[in-house]
Amino acid sequence: MAGLRTSVCCISLLLCMSLCLADQVKVNVRGVTSIARTDDTFVCATLDWWPSNKCDYGMCPWGQAGILNLDLSNKILANAIKAFNPLRIRIGGSLEDQVVYQVGNAVKKFPHFKKKADGLFGFSRGSLPMDRWDKLNALFNETNVKLSFGLNALIGKRKAKDSSLYEGDWNPQNARDFMAYTASKGYKIEAYELGNELCATGVAAKLTPEQYGKDIITLKKILKELYPDPSNQPKVMGPAGFYDTEWFQRFLEATGPDVVDVVTHHIYNLGAGRDPELINRIQDPFYLDEIAQTHRDLSKTVEKFGPWANIWVGEAGGAYNSGGRDVSHAFVNAFWYLDQLGMTSTFSHQSFCRQALIGGNYALLNTTTFIPNPDYYGALLWHRLMGTSVLQINHNGSPYLRAYAHCSKRKPGVTVLLINMSNSTSFDVSVNDDVNEYPDEYKLTANTGATPREEYHLTPKDGNILSDVLLLNGEPLVLTSTQDIPSLNPKLVDPASPITVAPDSYVFATIRDFKAPACA
């Protein structure tokens, strides 16, 4: 019996050692030159038009979170936006091409999106009253939002017989009246976007690239009339849909130089919200890598056919049809979201708009309580820590360890994001300056220096990756007694020690003594 106990103890000890010992990983950051740049307001979130009876898979997850029924006086909502200072917001979505603006000659009042079997996405037209628009802008002004607005691109068009193709020129009168009203009120609009997901095969409707290009040119002309001073003229964005090489090329050729300021595309690379494989895809680095080809191809297309334009991910919810009920709002979704932020930044995308700020299962804020979901804090930390210069980074470890590096935001040094998708392996990460052929005075082992390293370790409550409660350095992130966003304070670590990345976690680490020439 004693021998049996000894054997069991030995097996337990070996098991513990295999589980407790972390993999040693060397991460190399090339600090001499940057590989890409992002906009200073890279993190963006969307507000959508969906009414409360927008339902998928027997669920109706939008509640009172649509543009027309959202509680604009909610203090948590305002504080959540203010914390970014600024947050970029894009107003748009599937129903934007059925919105009539109640201004000018548009005196007929449409109901607020009623169910209609033969309507786009199963809904009738809806309308935006100007008093609602005034209240929205009061919130945006108070919270310092950088706002982009998606216009109805289908007004004046006719549906082709037995096809989702819409034909004819865009009638811009209602949109022009709306933009003129907006300008007269002094409301700040960063950009106007025309239509939603009308490119290539479309979703519920589509346009040819030549026709869409013609309509975009019309929008540009109107903005030049309404805003003759180029310094305050809103940008033109499009086509706000899924990337297709031929369609995007023909569209950019049709518009010609200096018409489209921002090329926008949408990402829903995780599949349907009800797909049982959703949670597995989020944790599969090989699957997540597949979307990189889209970012790469679009970057090449814009470089060749529209080098005057920037690129945004204009809408990305991960899983379509409002996201996954148990997954998209939980801690685990960060493996997709933060990896996408890191990946798109390496392809010089200037902004990444998360669907949605509030509403659906994929919201950054809980649709009912407005309390931030885990991804909200990941987005906020990215916004505060990751600067605009993207650095090359690589490592010799497991593919389940993802790594991204940027010059730190408004402070010296470099910030790395380390994402551990493994549920069993921890990593002890040493960060090194990979300068190779450059002079010795640039060489640096980043885990050295006099200044403490600043670390933000994000883990789920009780180790449950489906938890909505996020821990920062072991402490739960909860709103203050005044419903403010809590302070996000790092722990200070001896810079000579490795960065330990626990299983199912992610870490932002700022290394102040990393003297990267690209960040000077």
From the candidates 190, 197, 454, 455, give the one annotated as an active-site residue.
197
From the candidates 96, 315, 454, 455, give the one annotated as an active-site residue.
315
Mean pLDDT of 361-386: 98
State the number of CA atoms in the 13 A half-sphere of 164 facing the CB.
Answer: 13
Active site residue 437: no
Pairing between β-strand 262-267 and β-strand 310-316 as defined by DSSP bridges = parallel
End-to-end CA distance of the chain: 67
- The helix (H) or strand (E) run that includes residue 292 is helix 292-305
Residue 11's pLDDT band (boundaries 50, 70, 90)? very low
Mean pLDDT of 4-9: 42
**What mean pLDDT value characterizes the chain?**
93
Instruction: Return d(Cα 464, Cα 331) in angstroms, integer.
Output: 8
The 10 Å Cβ neighbour count of residue 55 is 15
- How far, CA to CA in Å, does 446 sit from each of 211, 441, 519? 53, 13, 14
Task: In the chain, count H helices and then E strands.
Answer: 11, 25
The 10 Å Cβ neighbour count of residue 153 is 28
Nearest to 342 by CA among 306, 298, 300, 378: 378
The pLDDT, as a whole number, for residue 201 is 96
Sequence length of the chain is 520
Q: What is the 3-state secondary structure (H, E, C) of 343-387?
A: HHHHCCCCEEEECCCECCCCCCECCCCCCECHHHHHHHHHHHHEE
Summarize pLDDT for 265-295 with one digit per residue, the tens: 999 999 999 999 999 999 999 999 999 999 9
Active site residue 253: no
The pLDDT, as a whole number, for residue 443 is 46
Q: Which residue has 């914390």 as its token pair?
A: 83
Nearest to 269 by CA among 359, 373, 343: 343
CA 56 to chain CA centroid, Å, is: 22
